[in-house]
Amino acid sequence: MANKKLRIIPIGGLGEIGKNMTVLEYGRNMILVDCGVMFPESDMYGIDLVLPQFDYVVQNQDQLRGIVLTHGHMDHIGGLPYLMRQIKTTIYGTGLTIGMVKRQLEEGKVIQQANLQVVQEKSSFQLGPFKISLFPVAHSIPGSVGLVIDTPVGTVVHTGDYKLDETPAGGQTTDLKRLKKLTPNGVLALLADSTNADRPGRTPTERVVSDELDRLFAEAKNGRIIIATFASLLARLQEIINLAQKHGRKVALTGRSLVENVELARDLGYLKIPNGLLVDIDSRVPDKKLLILSTGSQGEPRSSLNRMAQGEHRQIQVKKGDTIIISGGTIPGNEEEVGRMLNKLFERGANVIYGKLANIHVSGHGSRDEMQIMLETVKPRYFIPVHGETRHLHLHARIAESMGMSSKNVFILNNGATWSSDGEKAWLDKPIPAVDVLVDGRLVGEVGAMVMQDRQRLSQDGFIVALIPVNSRNKLVGEPEIISRGFVQTNGSTDLLQAACKEIKQYFKHGTNVAHDNVRDMLQNFFFRETQSRPVVLPSIIRV
Amino acid sequence: MANKKLRIIPIGGLGEIGKNMTVLEYGRNMILVDCGVMFPESDMYGIDLVLPQFDYVVQNQDQLRGIVLTHGHMDHIGGLPYLMRQIKTTIYGTGLTIGMVKRQLEEGKVIQQANLQVVQEKSSFQLGPFKISLFPVAHSIPGSVGLVIDTPVGTVVHTGDYKLDETPAGGQTTDLKRLKKLTPNGVLALLADSTNADRPGRTPTERVVSDELDRLFAEAKNGRIIIATFASLLARLQEIINLAQKHGRKVALTGRSLVENVELARDLGYLKIPNGLLVDIDSRVPDKKLLILSTGSQGEPRSSLNRMAQGEHRQIQVKKGDTIIISGGTIPGNEEEVGRMLNKLFERGANVIYGKLANIHVSGHGSRDEMQIMLETVKPRYFIPVHGETRHLHLHARIAESMGMSSKNVFILNNGATWSSDGEKAWLDKPIPAVDVLVDGRLVGEVGAMVMQDRQRLSQDGFIVALIPVNSRNKLVGEPEIISRGFVQTNGSTDLLQAACKEIKQYFKHGTNVAHDNVRDMLQNFFFRETQSRPVVLPSIIRV
């Protein structure tokens, strides 16, 4: 009896945008929905990626019946190469999603751990006690689906990322009819995308973007067109390719992820490119017949567009007459990098179109009115907003409450929370550990809070290591030496460092307490007094 | 004859938003327009402020006839406490501006260096060969003016910060009629604010904000209202005070800069507050009768609102029922900090209204249509867009060109460029040095590019100092010791550091070349091989 309950445990994606991952359990059966990564916030110094904490899944892998993926974006699949180092299982997804996962797992050298299963966008399949049925959703990558999961105690709906665009790129709308048909007996719990819960109204249709691009292409006249977008916005890429064809331009690609994604999506039939349209980046196509599709909408230092901005791109020199279009929103935290890149592109004489200057980007996530329609369609007994920072979850919850849901039936959860239900009541059991796991180069999880604090401090004021040679009676037996980086300019600061050495000598002459911590405090006080800065101070007392 | 030319030298504010400062010279006469600071970008690790480079002004101070200020915001006056350490001069500005400067100079203990002169918003005065006439402009602080500067070779117009709001807070519109009347003989050069050159249309009027706040105040019902805004948006503060009065709420202030600014502006008659409306933050006013005005719209760590979010504010505990309104745009680079603060405020149960959820902020700068109107009004022979990053300057320039100005007459300058004119022609002379001067604690200008690079690297991967005791024949005479911070967790990484010590021993056993740089390279390679990270590596070879 104790096992006759459903448990839903978000391991990632709550209180954050990224690393989406949810556990569903019934008895001794577990499935996962998605397994994403998060890109680090700008105060996560030196961190390449953030993973969900996999411990609970790894410990219970004998109960795992499979992983179901909603779509092929990194915040939904990017954790798999790391998880699959530790487990073996079957992974289910639509064609493009599985294609992208396959490439990821091959690069991570863990492909042999996974049994990859392609499922159709309107299929159903059974994983232990869970019956999974997919319904197509409109999002910025083809093959995106939401999930209806029938469990012994009731039906759970997980929207994945979606919007209710009625004229989306690629034509795939969110199939609310199928969703309705799949849930004839009502829905126990809805987990729904909260990303845009602070945007009023509806997200504009992708149609707006293609109309605007059409207009801009016509205005570009005899110059080249260079468009930067996310390599993963495959629906947008299809629009751009169609428009290039219409305007008689060949398309050249630059940027590794873009080239790879286009090839993959084309091979799998998700991207339709007329023969002869794609040309090599080195081809001698006249400017007025050329469109260059590039990565770098976020100003990433090594991206193609940023290399063009810096004058470091091997094949492309930006020049007067070029029209450069940034067709991708700026992810919070990237504003300064994007701004610097734009400045450089303008300096090179290009006509750069970005941000509010034209309607060249729309979000792939639904806004507040769409969230309301989803809630009306599903009419869940319980509602768990997912995919969002805390503010988005709260605002999404309030939409539900404003529609008459009792706040007792709306659960704003943290990662690791264990939502449990017997099909009637719902409650929270003891949470599981679900913290951020930081990836730094080859180090996974080894860089913790203390290192991050040190990096923060080092970034502000640098460090001072003081080498102090003493004899067994703690008397100085030579000149102290100071090693420093990131504190003050070495040239201009010789006086300061000499004064510090003098201070050390004084201290060892008079000081009776020459324990490491006392020497450190003495030096910290000295430097703060002199500069009002607090470098990391590490005395090294060397006994000779 | 060689001196019969006008020189305009922007020392700050071009290619950046902030530290606005312009030199005008004729013969041996110099005046300055504004003297601002810039807040550091997020990759300026550990930097508190950025100043313009004052060298040219200091070297030529015998020619300086005075400093004219357009308004009292920090990006126009914040550099004065630093400049006035090095020179003595007269500073001209309207009442509130001079009031704010006075406080700044007193805090910087340089008030005796300055002769402060209050001038009326429609006055004229002579500084050497320059006749300065002010015209009122609408901006987000009262007492803002633009400048008409008559010189022997022609008239220069400097807009300062402005927008063409026809129903601004405080009622001061931009007086284009006076501007027109002050320039009967045409304008040689226009220097105009480019901040919003990437925003189409017109900046919405402040009236939109007060209407929306009015509505939100009514909806707040029995709870407290907490509004965060910039302490310097004095026009907005006036609106909020008027609305508080209308809705029967007392106003309490929290945040040092806010308290100081309100007091100053009220004393000088720029802020009208009915007697009895202001109450102490500790007063026992019922929630429904209280409005709290707070600093912290940018999520600054020590600001009042952020302390409330963290639960660390001494007098105010945020609770369910509170309506919190963030009435200030987010400065690029602050998005993540603001986001985190909002999350915490939601967690405490408040109804938080921010960003696009309501029209609660408008910019103080005019948008593209307003720039066009300014250009039409002034019809300058030469145009120098100022106050903006490179992209803004270019976009502003193109507005002028689209109106028929020849691109030869539009000058997109860098800081330090020397624009020269004899009243007919205009050309660029040799530029002067005008780089960023970094302020870090008490250190002004001592922290340079090398230190910034080191901080960047330390922030990413930390450092390793290896103490290697050798004898006179470069043989190891003891155990190497490694000191490290910010690299990897010390517990989990003992193995790695021990392996590094082993590597050092091997190297000194076999290595013939034990010069410092070779040892460093060897260790750098070792750590990169093991971790794919590049900590700063500093071997210290100790001869004993």
Residues from chain B that touch A347, judged by Cβ atoms under 8 A, are 390, 394
Within 8 A by CB and 6+ apart from B16, the residues are B38, B388, B389, B415
pLDDT, mean of each 10-residue run, chain A (544 residues) = 83 97 97 97 91 98 98 97 98 97 97 98 97 97 97 98 92 95 98 98 95 96 95 92 97 96 95 96 95 95 95 95 94 90 97 94 96 98 98 98 97 98 97 96 86 93 93 87 84 77 89 82 93 90 83
CA distance B336 to chain A (A): 6
CA distance A459 to chain B (A): 5
Return the pLDDT at B454: 93
Q: How confident is the model at residue B72 (pLDDT cuts 50, 70, 90)?
A: very high
Judge: A488–B443 Cβ closer than 8 Å, yes or no: yes
Residues from chain B that touch A466, judged by Cβ atoms under 8 A, are none
Residue scoring higher pLDDT (B356 or B119): B119
- The per-residue pLDDT for range B358-370, each reduced to its tens digit, is 999 999 999 999 9
C-alpha–C-alpha distance, residues A405 and A378, integer Å: 12
- A10-28 per-residue burial string, b: 16 or more CB within 10 A, e: under 16: bbbbbbbbbbbbbbbbbee
Return the pLDDT at A473: 84
Is residue A454 one of the residues assigned to a domain?
Answer: no
DSSP string, B331-381: PTT-HHHHHHHHHHHHHTT-EEE-GGGS-----SS--HHHHHHHHHHH-EE
- Return the structure tokens found at B55: 């060298």
- Residue B391: HSE in the Cβ half-sphere, 13 Å Cα cutoff: 21
Are B344 and B324 in contact by the 8 Å Cβ rule? The answer is no
Judge: A198–B343 Cβ closer than 8 Å, yes or no: no
Judge: A455–B465 Cβ closer than 8 Å, yes or no: no
Rg of chain A in Å (alpha carbons): 28
Q: Please state the length of chain B.
A: 544
Is residue A453 one of the residues assigned to a domain?
Answer: no
CA distance A15 to chain B (A): 8
Domain that holds residue A83: 6-201+363-444
For B484, the 3-state DSSP assignment is strand
Sign of CA dihedral A502, A507, A510, A516: negative
Beta strands in A377-505 (DSSP E): 380-386, 418-421, 426-429, 437-440, 443-444, 463-470, 481-485
Residue type, A96: L
Judge: B483–A447 Cβ closer than 8 Å, yes or no: no
Q: What CATH number is given to the structural domain containing B337?
A: 3.40.50.10710
Within 8 A by CB and 6+ apart from A398, the residues are none
Residue scoring higher pLDDT (B445 or B54): B54
Are B372 and B170 in contact by the 8 Å Cβ rule? The answer is no
Is residue B1 one of the residues assigned to a domain?
Answer: no
Are A67 and A113 in contact by the 8 Å Cβ rule? The answer is no
- Candidates A59, A92, A87; CA nearest to A77 is A92
Catalytic residue among A365, A387, A392, A396: A365
In this structure, are A64 and A108 located in the same domain? yes
Catalytic residue among A34, A150, A165, A193: A193
Q: Which of B485, B524, B533, B543 to mutate to test the interface with A (most CBs of A within 10 A)?
A: B485
Compare all CA atoms of chain A with the CA of B478 and give the residue at the minimum distance.
A544
Within 8 A by CB and 6+ apart from A390, the residues are A15, A412, B343, B344, B346, B347
Beta strands in B219-265 (DSSP E): 225-228, 250-254
Q: Which of residues A383, A418, A444 is at a domain's end?
A: A444
Are A196 and A203 in contact by the 8 Å Cβ rule? The answer is yes
Judge: B460–A342 Cβ closer than 8 Å, yes or no: no
In this structure, are B243 and B322 located in the same domain? yes
Judge: B198–A532 Cβ closer than 8 Å, yes or no: no
Q: Please state the length of chain A.
A: 544
C-alpha–C-alpha distance, residues B138 and B171, integer Å: 8
Are B36 and B232 in contact by the 8 Å Cβ rule? The answer is no
Q: Which of residues B353, B383, B404 is at a domain's end?
A: B353
In this structure, are A402 and A339 located in the same domain? no
In this structure, are B170 and B51 located in the same domain? yes
Cα Dmax for chain A: 86
Return the pLDDT at B61: 97
Is residue A425 one of the residues assigned to a domain?
Answer: yes
How deeply is A289 buried, as exposed, middle or buried, from its count of CB atoms within 10 A (0-12, 13-18, 19+)?
middle
Judge: B486–A530 Cβ closer than 8 Å, yes or no: no
Count of C-beta atoms within a 10 Å radius of residue B331: 14
Residue type, A426: A
User: Is the pLDDT reported for residue B489 higher than 90?
Assistant: no
Q: Which of A44, A318, A343 to mutate to test the interface with B (most CBs of B within 10 A)?
A: A343
Compare all CA atoms of chain A with the CA of B534 and give the residue at the minimum distance.
A441
Return the pLDDT at A1: 44
Residues from chain B that touch A391, judged by Cβ atoms under 8 A, are 339, 342-343, 346, 352
Are A148 and A182 in contact by the 8 Å Cβ rule? The answer is yes
User: Is the pLDDT reported for residue B521 higher than 60?
Assistant: yes
In this structure, are A38 and A161 located in the same domain? yes
Q: Which of B46, B336, B493 minimises the CB distance to A446?
A: B493
For A119, the 3-state DSSP assignment is coil
Residues from chain A that touch B449, judged by Cβ atoms under 8 A, are none
Q: Which of B198, B355, B489 minimises the CB distance to A450?
A: B489
Judge: B42–A45 Cβ closer than 8 Å, yes or no: no
Q: Which of B438, B458, B467 to mutate to test the interface with A (most CBs of A within 10 A)?
A: B458
Mean predicted lDDT score pLDDT of chain B: 94
DSSP string, A163-196: B--SS-GGG----HHHHHHH-TT-EEEEEEE-TT
Q: Which of residues B395, B411, B444 is at a domain's end?
A: B444
Judge: B481–A355 Cβ closer than 8 Å, yes or no: no
Are A48 and A136 in contact by the 8 Å Cβ rule? The answer is no
Is residue A451 one of the residues assigned to a domain?
Answer: no
Compare all CA atoms of chain A with the CA of B368 and give the residue at the minimum distance.
A357
Catalytic residue among B161, B165, B193, B436: B193
Judge: B198–A487 Cβ closer than 8 Å, yes or no: no
User: Is the pLDDT reported for residue B491 higher than 60?
Assistant: no
In this structure, are A181 and A253 located in the same domain? no
What's the angle, vertex CA B206, arms to CA B201 and CA B210, rounded to 5? 135
Beta strands in A327-425 (DSSP E): 351-353, 380-386, 418-421
Return the pLDDT at B490: 55
Q: Which of A39, A330, A346 to mutate to test the interface with B (most CBs of B within 10 A)?
A: A346
Sign of CA dihedral B307, B311, B314, B317: positive
- The label of the residue with tokens 């019934």 reads A26
CA distance A16 to chain B (A): 10
Residues from chain A that touch B339, judged by Cβ atoms under 8 A, are 332, 389, 391
Residue scoring higher pLDDT (B73 or A508): B73
Return the pLDDT at B260: 95
Is residue B456 one of the residues assigned to a domain?
Answer: no
In this structure, are A340 and A215 located in the same domain? yes
In this structure, are A338 and A227 located in the same domain? yes
Q: What CATH number is given to the structural domain containing A524?
A: 3.10.20.580
Catalytic residue among B365, B387, B392, B396: B365
Backbone phi, then psi, for B375, in 5-degree steps? -60, -40
C-alpha–C-alpha distance, residues B319 and B350, integer Å: 6
C-alpha–C-alpha distance, residues B4 and B129, integer Å: 11
In this structure, are B30 and B138 located in the same domain? yes
Asked if A365 is an active-site residue, the reply is yes
- Candidates A411, A394, A378; CA nearest to A159 is A378
User: Is the pLDDT reported for residue B458 higher than 90?
Assistant: yes
Within 8 A by CB and 6+ apart from A468, the residues are A476, A480, A504, A508, A519, A539, A540, A541, A542
- Regarding pTM above 0.90, the answer is yes
Residues from chain A that touch B415, judged by Cβ atoms under 8 A, are none
CA distance B260 to chain A (A): 25
In this structure, are A158 and A252 located in the same domain? no
Residues from chain B that touch A326, judged by Cβ atoms under 8 A, are none
Phi-psi region of A243 (alpha: psi -120 to 50; beta: other; left: phi over 0): alpha
Q: What CATH number is given to the structural domain containing B11?
A: 3.60.15.10
Return the pLDDT at A331: 85
Q: How many helices (H) and strands (E) does chain A have?
A: 15, 26
Judge: A532–B446 Cβ closer than 8 Å, yes or no: no
Is residue A489 one of the residues assigned to a domain?
Answer: yes
CA torsion, points B40, B45, B46, B51, in degrees to nearest 10? -30
Domain count, chain B: 3
List residues bridging with B251 in a β-sheet: B278, B291
The fraction of chain B above a pLDDT of 90, given in percent, is: 85
In this structure, are A518 and A428 located in the same domain? no
Q: How confident is the model at residue B1 (pLDDT cuts 50, 70, 90)?
A: very low
Cα Dmax for chain B: 86
Judge: B490–A450 Cβ closer than 8 Å, yes or no: yes
Asked if A510 is an active-site residue, the reply is no
Judge: A454–B447 Cβ closer than 8 Å, yes or no: no
Residue type, A191: L
C-alpha–C-alpha distance, residues B473 and B387, integer Å: 62
How deeply is B506 buried, as exposed, middle or buried, from its count of CB atoms within 10 A (0-12, 13-18, 19+)?
exposed
Return the pLDDT at A492: 53
Residues from chain A that touch B353, judged by Cβ atoms under 8 A, are none
In this structure, are B493 and B472 located in the same domain? yes
Is residue A487 one of the residues assigned to a domain?
Answer: yes
Judge: B460–A336 Cβ closer than 8 Å, yes or no: no
Residues from chain B that touch A335, judged by Cβ atoms under 8 A, are 332-333, 335
- The per-residue pLDDT for range B256-283, each reduced to its tens digit, is 999 999 999 999 999 999 999 999 999 9
